[in-house]
Amino acid sequence: MDGNGRWARRRGRPASFGHRAGVRAIKRTLEGCEQLGVDVLSVYAFSTENWTRPRAEVRALMRLFHETMQREIDEMHRRGVRIVVSGRRDGLSSRMRDRIEQAVARTANNTNGVLNVCLNYGGRAELVDAVRRVVHDHLAPQQIDESAIAQRLYVPDLPDPDLIIRTAGESRVSNFLLWQSAYAEMLVTETLWPDFDIEDLKAAIAEFNSRTRRFGGRPEVESPAAGAASR
Ligand code: IPE
Ligand code: MG
pLDDT score for 225: 58
- From 1, 2, 24, give the residue whose CB has the most ligand 1 atoms within 8 Å, as the site to mutate: 2
Catalytic residue check, 50: yes
Task: For residue 6, give the ligand 1 atom closest to its CA.
Answer: 14
The 10s digit of each residue's pLDDT in 161-191 is 999 999 999 999 999 999 999 999 999 999 9
- What class has domain 4-212? alpha beta
**Ligand 1: residue whose CA is nearest its atom 13:** 5
pTM of the model: 0.94
Give residue 219's pLDDT: 76
Is 90 catalytic? The answer is: no
What are the boundaries of each domain within the chain? 4-212
Q: For 97-152, write each residue's pLDDT tens digit.
A: 999 999 999 999 999 999 999 999 999 999 999 999 999 999 999 999 999 999 99
- For residues 2, 40, 87 and 126, what is the CA-based torsion angle, rounded to 10 degrees? -100
Rounded distance between C-alpha atoms, residue 165 and residue 195, angstroms: 14
Apex 44 CA angle, 39 and 47, nearest 5 = 150
pLDDT band at 2 (very low <50, low <70, confident <90, very high): very high
Average pLDDT, the chain: 95
Does the beta carbon of 194 lie inside 6 Å of ligand 1? no
Measured in angstroms, how far is the CA atom of residue 193 from the centroid of ligand 2? 10
Spell out the SS3 assignment of 86-112: ECCCECECHHHHHHHHHHHHHCCCCCC
